[in-house]
Structure 1
Amino acid sequence: MSREQWGSRTGFILAAVGSAVGLGNIWRFPYVTYENGGGAFFIPYLFAMLTAGIPFMILEFTLGHKYRSGAPKTLASLNRRFEWLGWFQVMISAVIACYYVVVIAWAISYCYFAFSQSWGDDSNSFFFGTFLGLTSDNAPSRLGDLRWNLLLPLSIAWAATYVATYRGVQGGIEKINKILMPLLFLLVLYLIARIAFLPGALDGINWMFAPDFSKIWDPKVWSAAYGQIFFTLSVGFAIMLSYASFLPEKSDINNNAFMTVLMNCGFSMLAGIMVFGALGYMAHAQGTALTEVVSSGVGLAFVTLPTAINLLPAPGIMGPLFFLALVFAGVSSHISIAQAVITGLMDKLGWNRHQASTLFCTLGFLISLLFITQGGLLLLDLVDYFINNVALLGACLLELLLAGWLCRLTDFQRHANRLSEFRVGNWWLFCIRFVSVGILLILLFNNILGAFRENYGGYANHEIYFIGWGMIGIMLILALSINAASRQESRL
């Protein structure tokens, strides 16, 4: 059976950008920039983009295109002993898909709440208490009751992903990203244009971009820049390998990679302007310093910004548009995460797209119910920490070691250059083999050391070991078991 293909280069790039552009661009990048030297942070960030982000993206586009398979078959083609790594990456995507969709469900709910600012004057109590019903116990394993108010938005989020993946590469994923991505950029540009003229907004934007060049010499700032690049580009956990496997035979790999990374980073800048403009206006309206209102993550999106929306002119318009932007960014990423898993199942089991999509989305929906319980936020927080800070970085590192040191990296270089308008030279080889590997070693070592030194989130030891490390252990055992079974089959 012939493999599906993207209908156009534009469709592929928009889908790849849709995968890379996610909730982290909106609620993580602005705060990381502000905290690490403002405008001066863009120097290490640009360096990280050129020496890690673009080279890694070129590698994944090349591997996916060359071997025409998802992560397990692609990595097995490099070295049959490493099929397990591909399955480990697929499992990372599967776990992320099950909790990431819950945040999209929150954003869908807040689109409705924003019309009348249902969160009232105390957005903190509303989000954690009224909306999530968070338990007072700081224990992720104590889930409590299901939050029925989240069942409908969760179903809507899964339905969008199911329709896109069920309908295929051209008919589903490409079409929906051709709609979502332009709309997302237009929404953000409109919000920027409206917010920028409000009192204090420019002060907020200046807070984010004001350079503190003394921080350039701080190794933690460089580590944060590389960490942001690895977190935001959807590399290292099966997504880009899957997407690139559907590229037509004649595809400009190098240009596609550059455009995907640059558009993703450009969106991060726009998101930063939007968020800090709103925070600047909020600080001005409340007569407080920006440092007292700035935050990141879930707290920024669902606590701080709703408070800012209360103060905005026409909040019943601006609020829904902001949360609609969050929904668009989340859905486009979730589709790509699901597709990474579905491609692995199709390649391994020989299933058609309809079977693989139906099975994964059904099981994923059932598992994601764990995260819409009273203790769901705590479970999401702990799982996300170990997936992003340990499993994902470890998968990135092993993939680079495999491709850069155990294979002929120059073969992949020639494959990409043969198809591309501009060629990548020795700088690409050096970045893959040394720069990216070295930075990932440092990041992973520090994260693992930090995880053992202090209990993340103040959670109890047994929660950390059984949920955090236990989850990673189970994923590794399953991946190695599949690898062993595959090698046994090949001998028979």
Structure 2
Amino acid sequence: MESNTVIMEASNNQQNNRGMNGTKLHSKDAKLSSESVPLKRTSVEIVAVTTPDENDARGTWSGKLDFILSCISYAVGLGNVWRFPFLCYENGGGAFLIPYVIILCLAGLPLFFLELSIGQFASVGCVNVWRICPLFKGMGYGMLVMSMFCCIYYNVIIAYTLHYLYFSFTRVLPWADCTHDWNTYNCVDSRHNETNFTSGHSRPSQEYFDNRVLGISDGIGEIGEIRWELAICLVLAWTIVFLSLAKGIKTSGKVVYLTATFPYLVLLSLFIRGMTLPGAIDGVKFYIKPEWSKLATSKVWQDAAVQIFYSLGAGFGCLHTLSSYNKWHNNCHRDAIIVAIVNCGTSIFAGFVIFAVIGFMAYDAGVDVETVVVSGPGLAFVAYPEAIARMPISPMWSILFFFMVLLLGLGSMLCMLETVITGIVDDLETRFKNIRKYKSHITLATSILLCILGLPLITQGGIYLLTLMNAFSAGLTLLLFGFMECIIIAYIYGVERYLHDITAMLGFRPSFYWKICWMVVAPLLLMFVIIFTFVSYNPAKYGEDYVFPAWAEALGWLMTASSILPVIIYAAIYLKQMERGPVMECLKNSMKHKSLWGPALAQHRKEAGYHILEQEEAENRLNACADDSYSSSRDSNDDPELALNLKSHYERTQMDGKADQEDASFLTDDIHARYKPKERLYPDIESAL
């Protein structure tokens, strides 16, 4: 990465100029990325030479693949494996792909591209990106709360996975039969026709999960004691997450090369192995057999919409965060399409993998496929492990499967926690200038805090809390935030203005398709899903039989409200702090974008038609890189002040580690040399120096 360089050229001293990296520079050879700003009454000329698209103060991805793989790793998660296949079977098999693809194109993909482009354009995370409409900055805080809830319970699922992975290193898998201490008299294994799955009998894999792993209690009111094996796994999971994010995107950008690619190798291996098993074809037919009549029901379209939004991950704030580390001219339009297609294709392919093995499981048990179909954690920790236990060389396949689940979980987990950390650091940087140097400490503190908050979820009643968090922490809120984003960009900020912004960034104007989706189609679809969520609401359940009591249901809605309340509270505080005036005038002004809104670097602001920020404003930018924007951030009439500010800036960057002592001394000496003869014209400069 080429370092940012400031060249100060005098007409009689051009051959002795030096950049911040200490190398000799000549004006006739230097390629200047911004216009020269001459100082009046002197021969001094200040020029900024910057590396295009680099924001060194905040950091950028090391390579193009880092970002794409991070998006794939985030979007392709556990839901692709354990939720989509079940929804496809439940909603008409192959016919379900029609509403799925339609909603992907009309709502999911447009919202995905919207979040990627706005994060890349402003180079800030999900909190300060709402400078575009300050009244709704609370939505960024709501996204952080939602992501924190997801981090808490998601890492508990990873802890389950680590437990299963560890106990897969054995000759006989412990959930393969009913000969263990945790099994009950109701446990039935092998092939006993329908006896395996009728009421009053249970699978060995179900008893292993309930009795051995969870030690499950009778309900959410009986929390019980901590399961210490799971506690160790939870600490290990958070340790892995912290080490992966210890140096921010520089480490996580490399981890995703494993989390985004290896699961496909495992899926392919499981698919090949599954298709060679007896009964696999029946399972696949059951998965893709179309029932066209179900397309006329609203539930099918609702399930397709919900799965699209949850799977792509729009609304969590993660996409703003990931794209904020892009180079400004990166083609996020292309990236959005690639990731959406990969995500959709993975879901469909995972269905073949899952149902091939479930078909074998049904054949082996002598029952119909629909008898053994389950969704959610039950698929990952009950049904699929039992099917694997019946395969030859079952420990090897179990290790591969749970390692794949681990990587899928980690990929999404890393992005969600990075969203939380970036949001915190970006926001604190407006008050504490050097806070970014302590980002690893903040990551450690946050990891410890969330690990402690996750302990109730690994008690004997913890699975009920996990189910409650999964149902309420990112349900309605996610859809509501997606709807608000479309309204803010399309109608408050202005879709034409936004298209102008990203045209400057991408180098081409996105087609009319994006405009009509942002303005009409996506908001309408989201509104439909939100309304239908209320209309078709059913009390939360764990499994088939346990219905949560009313107080637990209220606790779930409280989690939902905790993500929405920041929007209301922040808006109220913001309006109260504004100058008094007519209510409508205050409301209108509160929705105007701030002067700080726009690209981070000076040359990009110029390209997009934004004013160059003054020094004081630039220092308050969350992702300011003053080395890039400095020389073009002042008016040419302010040359004495410019010289003083340059001096103070480089003394500050010296302390921050951006410039070494030699560079700072050179610049100070150079200002002395240039302005000493002019002290009668500029007495304030000499006294300050």
TM-score, length of structure 2 as denominator length: 0.68
Provide, for residues 72-91 of structure 1, a one-character-per-residue CA deviation record: whole Å limited to 9, x for no partner. 1102x121110101100111
- In the TM superposition, 1:183-222 aligns within 5 A as 183-222=262-301
> Is the aligned partner of 1:161 residue 2:216?
no
Question: Which residue does the alignment assign to 2:175?
Answer: 119
Alpha carbons of 1:490 and 1:358: their partners in 2 closer, same or farther (altered >3 Å)? farther
Check conservation: 2:317, 2:419, Cα contact below 8 A. Answer: yes
Q: Which amino acid aligns with 1:85?
A: M
SS at match of 2:330: coil
Provide, for residues 395-438 of structure 1, a one-character-per-residue CA deviation record: whole Å limited to 9, x for no partner. 22222222222221223333334444875322212212222211
Check conservation: 1:70, 1:343, Cα contact below 8 A. Answer: yes
Q: CA deviation at 1:218?
A: 2.2
Q: CA deviation at 1:144?
A: 1.7
Q: Which amino acid aligns with 1:251?
A: N
Which entry has the higher C-alpha Rg, 1 or 2? 2
SS at match of 1:406: helix
> Is the aligned partner of 1:468 residue 2:580?
no
Aligned partners of 1:211, 1:475: CA distance in 2, in Å? 38
Question: Which residue does the alignment assign to 1:361?
Answer: 447
Question: Which residue does the alignment assign to 1:314?
Answer: 393
Provide, for residues 291-325 of structure 1, a one-character-per-residue CA deviation record: whole Å limited to 9, x for no partner. 11111101111111121112112101111111111
Alpha carbons of 1:401 and 1:101: their partners in 2 closer, same or farther (altered >3 Å)? same
Provide, for residues 156-192 of structure 1, a one-character-per-residue CA deviation record: whole Å limited to 9, x for no partner. 21112111222121x2111000122121111111111
**Unaligned regions of 5+ residues in structure 2, if any?**
1-55, 178-203, 430-434, 580-689
Check conservation: 1:71, 1:344, Cα contact below 8 A. Answer: yes
- In the TM superposition, 1:44-83 aligns within 5 A as 44-75=99-130, 77-83=131-137
Alpha carbons of 1:475 and 1:226: their partners in 2 closer, same or farther (altered >3 Å)? closer
Question: Which residue does the alignment assign to 2:142?
Answer: 88
- In the TM superposition, 1:118-157 aligns within 5 A as 118-121=174-177, 122-137=204-219, 139=220, 141-157=221-237
- In the TM superposition, 1:417-428 aligns within 5 A as 417-420=503-506, 423-428=509-514
Check conservation: 1:143, 1:373, Cα contact below 8 A. Answer: yes
Check conservation: 1:184, 1:329, Cα contact below 8 A. Answer: yes
Provide, for residues 200-233 of structure 1, a one-character-per-residue CA deviation record: whole Å limited to 9, x for no partner. 1122112111222222222221221111100111
SS at match of 2:137: helix
Relative to its length, the structure with more helix (as a share) is 1
Aligned partners of 2:509, 2:89: CA distance in 1, in Å? 35
Check conservation: 2:175, 2:389, Cα contact below 8 A. Answer: no
Aligned partners of 2:152, 2:385: CA distance in 1, in Å? 25
Aligned partners of 2:265, 2:575: CA distance in 1, in Å? 50
Aligned partners of 1:478, 1:220: CA distance in 2, in Å? 31
Higher RCO structure (Cα 8 Å, ≥6 apart): 1
**Unaligned regions of 5+ residues in structure 1, if any?**
none
Aligned partners of 1:478, 1:388: CA distance in 2, in Å? 15
Provide, for residues 28-87 of structure 1, a one-character-per-residue CA deviation record: whole Å limited to 9, x for no partner. 010111111111111111111111121111100111011111111102x12111010110
> Is the aligned partner of 1:380 residue 2:469?
no
Aligned residue pairs: how many?
Answer: 485
Q: Which amino acid aligns with 1:117?
A: L
Alpha carbons of 1:455 and 1:120: their partners in 2 closer, same or farther (altered >3 Å)? closer
RMSD: 2.0
Question: Which residue does the alignment assign to 1:100?
Answer: 154
SS at match of 1:3: coil
Aligned partners of 2:539, 2:444: CA distance in 1, in Å? 41
> Is the aligned partner of 1:223 residue 2:302?
yes
Alpha carbons of 1:474 and 1:388: their partners in 2 closer, same or farther (altered >3 Å)? closer
Aligned partners of 1:165, 1:133: CA distance in 2, in Å? 32
Aligned partners of 1:339, 1:455: CA distance in 2, in Å? 30
Aligned partners of 1:31, 1:300: CA distance in 2, in Å? 9
Check conservation: 2:121, 2:505, Cα contact below 8 A. Answer: no
SS at match of 2:167: helix
Q: Which amino acid aligns with 1:460?
A: P
Aligned partners of 2:448, 2:578: CA distance in 1, in Å? 31
- In the TM superposition, 1:2-17 aligns within 5 A as 2-17=57-72
Percent identity reads: 30
Check conservation: 1:390, 1:448, Cα contact below 8 A. Answer: no
Moved more, 80-89 or 195-204: 195-204
Q: Which amino acid aligns with 1:262?
A: I
Alpha carbons of 1:363 and 1:486: their partners in 2 closer, same or farther (altered >3 Å)? farther
- In the TM superposition, 1:316-331 aligns within 5 A as 316-331=395-410
Provide, for residues 377-403 of structure 1, a one-character-per-residue CA deviation record: whole Å limited to 9, x for no partner. 101111211123222222222222222
